[in-house]
Structure 1
Amino acid sequence: MNRRSFIKKLLAGSLAFFGISGGTYYYARNVEPALLTVHKETIQSKKIPSSFDGFKIIQFSDTHIGFHYTLDQFQELVKKINALEPDLIVFTGDLVDKPNQYNWNPRLTNLLSSLHAPKGKFWIYGNHDHGGYGTEIVKEVMGQANFQLLKNSHHTIEQQVDRILIAGIDDVMLGQPNLSKTLENTNPDLFTILLAHEPDIADKSMEFPVDVQLSGHSHGGQVRLPFVGHLYTPLYAEKYVEGKYRFESSNLDLYVSRGIGTTRLPYRFLCKPEITLFTLKTQ
């Protein structure tokens, strides 16, 4: 959806929202976008080896740096992530809002480099990473910061004699995602985490030996109204918007992050930005 269509669709709900009071507008514009929360989840599975019991994974997503989200704010985010002492860090896409217009600063690479996780740092493309001719720019910056790209590929995480699998697909909207290639020659008995920017791809992920899918893209709707919920979410984030979804028929658990930054419109209301701390637990 282009910017004009987006704003047209959102206009009625936005007018009602902003018409509540000037104080509400100020809160949504200047306060809530900075109220970063740490959402904690425990992932339990019989497939998680005993040596991974208590293993900590941090997911952060959708920073959209450059659109009302600054490097100073990102520095505070880095401090918060490192203070949680994760074993593994994953970024699920949309680093800067407009890669071709962003004034790339070495400070961003340095901050990304300062994120510490002994078992590795992994990332996938989001639609904004591919958009605006940014594909190679973002790839270079993330690579310099020692983040490993998972683009229709997977990586084995080893701990003592045990292993789990982390995989990632290319962006659904502007890339060429291929789940079959991503999980080619993998052992279905290994506990498998899939990174996918757009959450609605879970309807296809459940057909593969994936235990957990971590996604972003939706921003949780950014603006949510009481008794109404979110006003708008982008394509491929229309079914699964935020939080945890369980698919009993496939044993897949989907977690959708509200993300950190904003896009299109610089507001958040009843939808605080978040990072997620996942703790693995053996059943």
Structure 2
Amino acid sequence: MNQVGSLIFLVALFLFSTFLNWYVFQAYKTVLSGVDSERSKQMLNLIYWIVFGGISIWVVYTFHQIFKAGEISTAHQQVLNVFLTIVVTQLVCTIFLFGEDIFRNIQAGFSLLVNGKSETSFPTRLKWLSIIAIAISMVPFTSFVYGITKGKYNFTVHREIIYFDDLPDAFDGFTITQLSDIHAGSFKNLDAVKKGVDLAIAQQSDLFVFTGDLVNHEAGEIEPMIDIFNKIKAPYGQFSIIGNHDYGDYVSWESPEAKAENFKKFIKQHERLGYKLLIDEHVVIEKDGQQITLVGVQNWGKGFQSKGDLTKAMEGVASENFKILLSHDPSHWDYEAKNEPRKIHLTLSGHTHGMQFGIETPLIKWSPVQYRYPNWAGLTAYQGRFLYVNRGFGFHAFSGRVGIWPEITVIELRKK
């Protein structure tokens, strides 16, 4: 982002934050209307603005530092945690207040029509409704506190059985464990990481795949965790691909040579993890004399790096082969893979993290990320071709997870 764009963003951010502070203050002030002492009211009002106004300035300054540094540090993550927690809490409160304001304006307009301007007074806020608005807004507040402290380590196994007409008989019941988006630089609690890895190992799948974003910025981030993740073994191998963060594009380097050296180190890290890194290539998985083809491409994403070369990766692969594609960004499936003439039976992706925030129940599945990615979590199908999007193992920018828990995927292939 250039300097003008950064300045516009920072001003807009400050105005947006100030507006939310002011709007929620209306409910706060209404609740305080029962306080008898005028001096106490003024003191409490001043405390409100010192706290929330100070946080707004702190957040704007932090974004300025992020733009200046070109990366999000651990300290920046903590500020973003506070900012997102407060913004979502205030937005929930604002929804109630805005609904009341619509009703108050309708009342005032009706009174004006009936009684005339001289006898019209604008209805005051209802104290009980302000109390309810503040009380309900505590639900997202406590959810975010949980997500920041515990939820980001709430590793959850998602299982899918997918049926295919043309699956080779030998692979009926074949299982695949998928991890994605480790974002090693964000983890500080290695015991929690080990807990998640142990859960993945416990699935005892036939094949293990990792679908990109091993690190946030630098290859060295995975160093403290190599001896944790390299414990993952599968009878038919461990395979991985490159995600958009793995290239080191989101951090400033002292020289192009330093960036290139980092990428070489990143490739070596996969060897130390025991993962075969597929860079626009394919491998054949053989079982009982029958085969499936595992294809892996570099990152290909709409609006991100599109380095992946599916044509190159599938050179020499026959149309009739049963094919599984590892591609980090699910938009690759939307724009290319699902329409590939040589049918790709299953694509495994990650990237979205489910935005680390949303609601997933048997009745409701929602996350803000769905407005950017139509396929953002779980399984989808198109004309007999399937896509599974993993919700991610780690986290980035927002150091937490609310409602969208870190995922370990187990896919079982079955003959229809």
Identify whether the pair has TM-score above 0.5, normalized to the shorter chain: yes
Instruction: Supply the distance in 2 between the matched residues of 1:40 and 1:228 (Cα, whole angstroms).
Output: 17
1:114 aligns with 2:246: no
Counterpart in the other structure of 1:171 = 299
Instruction: Supply the distance in 2 between the matched residues of 1:263 and 1:154 (Cα, whole angstroms).
Output: 29
Counterpart in the other structure of 2:352 = 218
Task: Give secondary structure in 2 for the equivalent of 1:206.
Answer: helix
Counterpart in the other structure of 1:181 = 312
Counterpart in the other structure of 1:230 = 367
Counterpart in the other structure of 1:87 = 206
The alpha-carbon deviation at position 46 of structure 1 amounts to 1.9
Whichever structure has more strand as a proportion of its residues is: 1
Determine if contact 1:44/1:280 at 8 Å carries over to the other structure.
yes
Paired letter, 2:279: K
Name which of 332, 352, 360 aligns with 1:201: 332
After superposition, residues 135-146 of structure 1 pair within 5 angstroms as: 135-146=263-274
Paired letter, 1:246: A
Paired letter, 1:205: A
The alpha-carbon deviation at position 136 of structure 1 amounts to 2.0
Question: Greater CA deviation, 163-172 or 173-182?
Answer: 173-182
Counterpart in the other structure of 1:43 = 162
After superposition, residues 1-283 of structure 1 pair within 5 angstroms as: 14=84, 15-19=86-90, 20-21=137-138, 22-68=141-187, 70-99=189-218, 102-103=220-221, 105=223, 107-131=224-248, 132=251, 133=259, 134-172=262-300, 173-174=304-305, 176-203=307-334, 204-208=336-340, 209-224=343-358, 229-232=366-369, 238-248=373-383, 251-283=384-416
Paired letter, 2:395: T
The alpha-carbon deviation at position 16 of structure 1 amounts to 4.3
Instruction: Supply the distance in 2 between the matched residues of 1:99 and 1:182 (Cα, whole angstroms).
Output: 26
The alpha-carbon deviation at position 103 of structure 1 amounts to 4.9
The alpha-carbon deviation at position 69 of structure 1 amounts to 5.0
Aligned alpha-carbon RMSD (Å) = 2.7
Paired letter, 1:274: E
Determine if contact 1:167/1:194 at 8 Å carries over to the other structure.
yes
Determine if contact 1:109/1:142 at 8 Å carries over to the other structure.
no
Determine if contact 1:18/1:24 at 8 Å carries over to the other structure.
no
- Normalising by structure 1, report the TM-score: 0.88
Instruction: Supply the distance in 2 between the matched residues of 1:169 and 1:84 (Cα, whole angstroms).
Output: 26
Instruction: Determine which structure has more spread, i.e. the larger CA radius of gyration.
Output: 2
Instruction: Supply the distance in 2 between the matched residues of 1:142 and 1:112 (Cα, whole angstroms).
Output: 10
Q: Structure 1 residues 122 and 230 mapped into 2: Cα distance closer, same or farther (>3 Å)?
A: same
Provide, for residues 77-111 of structure 1, a one-character-per-residue CA deviation record: whole Å limited to 9, x for no partner.
221111111110000011122216x5553x42222
Determine if contact 2:144/2:402 at 8 Å carries over to the other structure.
no
Task: Give secondary structure in 2 for the equivalent of 1:109.
Answer: helix
Q: Structure 1 residues 174 and 189 mapped into 2: Cα distance closer, same or farther (>3 Å)?
A: same
Question: Greater CA deviation, 154-163 or 18-27?
Answer: 18-27
Q: Which has the higher contact order (CA 8 A, sep 6+)?
A: 1
How many residues are aligned here?
275
Task: Give secondary structure in 2 for the equivalent of 1:171.
Answer: coil
